[in-house]
Amino acid sequence: MNIFYKLYCRIYQSVLRIALPFLPYRTPEILASADEIGDLLMKNAPGLTLIVTDRGCREAGLLKILTDALDRSGQRYVIFDGVVSNPTTETVENARRIFIENRCSSLIGLGGGSSMDCAKAAGARIARPDRQMGQMRGILKVRKKIPYLISVPTTAGTGSETTLAAVITDAETRHKYAVNDFPLIPSAAVLDPEFTKSLPKKMTACTGMDALTHAVEAYIGRSTTEQTRAWAVKAVQLIFSNLIKAYDDGENMKARSNMMQAAFYAGASFSQSYVGYVHAVAHSLGGRYNIPHGLANAVLLPVVLECYGTAAQRKLHELAVYAGISSPDESDAAGSEKFICAVRAMNRRLGIPQTLPGIKEKDIPEMARYADMEANPLYPVPVIWGADQLERFYYAVMEGEKVYDRVSDRSADLVSAQAVQ
Ligand SMILES: NC(=O)c1ccc[n+]([C@@H]2O[C@H](COP(=O)([O-])OP(=O)(O)OC[C@H]3O[C@@H](n4cnc5c(N)ncnc54)[C@H](O)[C@@H]3O)[C@@H](O)[C@H]2O)c1
Ligand SMILES: [Fe+2]
């Protein structure tokens, strides 16, 4: 990548970092149970509410928990349960249409990141009928208040219940992108671990690793504050001590509750300090092949961390110390190595593979271009890479021995490509 473009990226990131204290970040009001929603809506957005969810949440009985609570408080609602994983622009338009047809006045996103993001994106389209979803890609393009929004997470991973992001896939091109703006931060979030009790083992594992990726990418980035570092550390500690417990025993409510807190802290951290190339590459894979977001992140995380090389070692060592797997006396190289090994070990323990299915070599240049567009110049990553360098990561996680062998050389190139950091 051109040295002047790298310089431009760093200047862009510095401007945003300087502006950080003046930006209108806020945290949602936290509710301990869905029973508190009725009163809140009565006060802030009386009238019909649209519940945006998916069939999985309906079948798992989670929608019923919510509607029973709304019925008890006399709150009227309409249901849209057509959200798909890696939600598309088409799904968002369907949710928006139902909202308008029924003259709703508020939104509830019930589910994992897909449903919560779909509710946010529908809100953005309701507020901005003049802009298509794709025109709001990037940062600060919504700029208008969306209907009153409450998020009810049923996975402990994305942190969407506190972030300013909605990640949407273009139904035609399969380009998955993030829309980031302050009106998308939910007004309230229900953090009730009961909603995650039914989460299957595999989803518990992948969504937990998504939360870990948020915390790690935010922490090792260059736009952190004391507060975002503290949130990221808290999340890493909670995940290291609870994810395996929640995975082994889904009914361990202490572990479920701690994971829910971890996902929230990690979301709060990256909402201000951004994510990095793990996410940019994972989004392109999710958009193209519908690979679950947490799975893509989990597989990519150790690969990308390794390639950051010395640029991320000090911070990864710090995280290793906070996680209780290294000591401050060790070298940064040794401490960071321990952290990356621990991530790999955690993946193994959670049954997460080292490769991802379905990646086709012919799709890689376009996916790498999308990842580049998402990450640069916005994400304050430890090392800046262009699309050509990002291509290596797709090869690194592609299924098949031969490809894997070819990648060792490509990864070596990558590490030596850390000219401007
Ligand atoms: N907005 C953000 O800040 C942000 C951050 C990270 C990821 N994301 C996005 O979030 C999406 C991924 O969300 P996700 O990982 O939470 O998964 P998801 O929302 O796609 O849900 C995956 C599956 O799990 C099921 N499910 C959810 N909760 C359940 C429960 N408690 N019991 C049984 N089944 C349940 C769903 O029905 C669905 O079939 C991706 O599109 C990703 O890009 C958004
Ligand atoms: Fe994520």
Q: Is residue 142 part of a domain?
A: yes
HSE-up of 46 (CA within 13 Å, CB side)?
2
Instruction: Determine if the peptide bond prior to 24 is cis (ω within 30°).
Output: no
137: left (phi over 0), alpha (psi -120 to 50) or beta: beta
Mean pLDDT of 272-299: 97
Kind and range of the H or E element at 224?
none
| DSSP SS3 for 273 | helix
Tell me the average pLDDT of the chain.
94
One domain for residues 145 and 254 = no
> What is the extent of the structural domain holding 10?
3-18+201-415
Q: What band does 403 get if pLDDT is binned at 50, 70 and 90?
A: very low
Q: Which pLDDT score, from 0 to 100, does residue 410 have?
A: 45
Q: Is residue 25 part of a domain?
A: no
Q: Which amino acids bring their CB within 6 angstroms of ligand 1?
A: 54, 56-57, 60, 62, 85-86, 111-115, 117, 154-155, 157-160, 163, 165-167, 195-196, 198-199, 203, 207, 210, 283, 286, 293-294
Burial of 129 (0-12, 13-18, 19+ CB in 10 A): exposed
Mean pLDDT of 390-395: 97
pLDDT tens profile 367-387: 999 999 999 999 999 999 999
Mean pLDDT of 118-134: 98
Residue 21: count other Cβ atoms within 10 Å of its Cβ: 8
Strand order in the sheet with 165-169: 138-139, 176-180, 165-169
Who has greater pLDDT, 404 or 323? 323
pLDDT tens profile 48-80: 999 999 999 999 999 999 999 999 999 999 999
Who has greater pLDDT, 43 or 1? 43
pLDDT tens profile 302-323: 999 999 999 999 999 999 999 9
Q: Which pLDDT score, from 0 to 100, does residue 345 have?
A: 98
Any residues with CB less than 8 A from the CB of 86 and at least 6 apart, and which?
114, 167, 169, 176, 286, 287, 290, 293
Q: How far is the CA of 250 from the centre of ligand 1 (A)?
A: 17
Q: Decide if 362 contacts 256 (C-beta within 8 A).
A: no
Number of structural domains found in the chain:
2
Q: How far is the CA of 54 from the centre of ligand 1 (A)?
A: 10
pLDDT tens profile 252-280: 999 999 999 999 999 999 999 999 999 99
Closest protein CA for atom 17 of ligand 1: 112
Q: Which pLDDT score, from 0 to 100, does residue 278 have?
A: 98
Q: Which pLDDT score, from 0 to 100, does residue 1 have?
A: 74
What residues are neighbours of ligand 2 (ion), with CB under 5 Å?
210
Answer with the one of 196, 215, 246 that is the final residue of a domain. Answer: 196
Q: Is residue 421 part of a domain?
A: no
Q: What band does 2 get if pLDDT is binned at 50, 70 and 90?
A: confident
One domain for residues 224 and 113 = no
> For residue 162, which of 117, 216, 124 has the smallest C-alpha distance?
117
Answer with the one of 196, 222, 247 that is the final residue of a domain. Answer: 196
Name the token pair of 309. 């090389």
pLDDT tens profile 156-166: 999 999 999 99
CATH code, 143: 3.40.50.1970
